[in-house]
Chains A and B, each alone.
Chain A
Amino acid sequence: MIELKNITKTFNPGTVNEHKAIDNLNLVLNEGDFVTIIGSNGAGKSTLLNIISGSIDADTGYILLNGTNVANLSEHRRAPYFGHVFQDPMKGTATDMTVIENLALARGRGKKRSIFRWSISGKDKAYYEEKLKSLGLGLESRLYQKVGLLSGGQRQAITLLMATISQKPSFSQIRKDYVKFNPARRDEAKEEVERVYHEQKEIYKNAVKEIVKNHKLNSSEKSHKIKEAYKAFDTKMREYDVTKPVLLLDEHTAALDPKTAAKVLEITERIVREQHLTTIMITHNMNDAIKYGNRLIMMSKGKITVDVSGEEKKKLTISNLLDMFSSASDNDVLSDSAILG
């Protein structure tokens, strides 16, 4: 769960160019929410995303991630908890490095970059190939090519992958983080996660014993069954993984042609669905804003003016969205609808 409290940001304060980008904004996102944000240029959408990711510091306010304030962490310290995809395809990848090197950089997010480990090890190759294959763009055969040689759409797809593949934390890391991110009930949380861990470990151990004893199975069946048992253990522990990245998409398809944009959006939707990621997506396309996600937010002059979710959102159409838009921002109706229409 991510909670924004009283966020304010003014650019160039005290000068003629003073501009209040975010005006005392409050927002609560539940686990697994997929929010689309629309609003005219200068409404503060990108600023909001940059404040969450840490590339801009807010003047006031808190950003609570599962109850822990992250607003004072610098951008790179916050990176493990957020996956940021920018509008500009050039911004999300290191163009002089190969596809696999980029993915490896992303996978090490939140971990100390060691001088004693190779950035890419041989056994990771299969993992990256599989991940690239899931994009369905044929990129798995271009693992060792420089990212600079890829098209904008391909790069955005890779950036999307990079934003969502941070390495699975170890069980001990999960337990530690779970306690850290439940500061209000620290002891209780610790007890809970430790209890579940030991219970599951016991279940797994017993299952392995059973499988090994079972003479009816041949060795390949045995190893298969053991893998399954471990997967169950793993899945159960992943439920306590509070640091799953929140995906921040800043008009990530705006610079692409319509066909590629649709493809990238489709990939986005699939990744979000499969990993149950909490997601914020800025878009200028009203159709997309309606089609994707379970919640829609409209921003105007640094404030949230419309916030619809669930059934209500499903019934939205472009025309009543436009109506909402004009009633929400009464002064510059014409320019806004001209931009958005």
Chain B
Amino acid sequence: MIQVENLTKRYTGQTAISELSFNVGAGEIVGLLGPNGAGKTTTMRILAGYMPASSGAARIGGLDVFYHSRQVRERIGYMPENNPLYPEMRVKEYLKFRARLKGVRGKQVRSRLNAVLEQCHLKEVSRKIIGQLSKGYRQRVGLADALIHKPDLLILDEPTLGLDPNQIRSVRQLIKDLAGAHTILLSTHILPEVEMTSDRVLILDQGKIRAADTTENLQTLISGGGQVIAELAAPEAALREFLENAPDAEQYDLSPLDGEFFRCAITPRAGADLRSMVYNEARARDWELRELTRSRYSLEDIFVHLTREEPEAESEE
């Protein structure tokens, strides 16, 4: 569905994305993940035909987004960041306008309108003025707009930005429901969001793809080496001795809590999972264990991880 080859975009004085290459198959949901300024919006704007790339090529459904811009735009539903809408219009009126603008004809307009109102749960607000809607509803109006002409590809730039947790949940559910019927490319800087919605993730940082993998693989990468937090009631010396000698523990930090309890934060060697070891030890020695968790890598850690890896690899060469 999407083929991107060596896509580069330079603004005066800075490179927004450089030599980006990736493919998205039909029916896939792919998440573009990255911190602010990583080049997500730039990539999406180029794909949506809003602006050209400095070099490289992007094709959607086999058509070049620059040379066949209009045909490509007919096949895309694009929701920009911050979801701009005309606040003075009514929901129904706006969607009708967008449908006509996107070439939906005659009787189709009404049937498509009803379909997206249903799909995005907008029926009850269809006569309201957009400017008076809550942000969650407005976001759904934006999604409905992207969907109204039955596009093959949906490009959603930060679809859950600025929503409260309940609204985020409902928008995510909506995106999930759309899977199958459409290919979806969505961007976000929130990790759980991609985990929940996407099949595959592209991690973008400083205009380059740092990792491209399925969500499960990324998950293993993430959960493979998280810190283990244990709250144990044990004599301090014995605890220290155990942690010093644990083969997979790289580092530990001990802090006293109430009563006999200590809080141990243990960093494992790469790939190791220390939870069973801690539990077995506590059981064997009859220490009281009241909490055992593994902190997961945050997105930030992954970035640090991925960006740190590269110079090391280069220096080895």
- A and B form one complex: no
Please list the residues of chain B having a beta carbon within 8 angstroms of any beta carbon in chain A: none
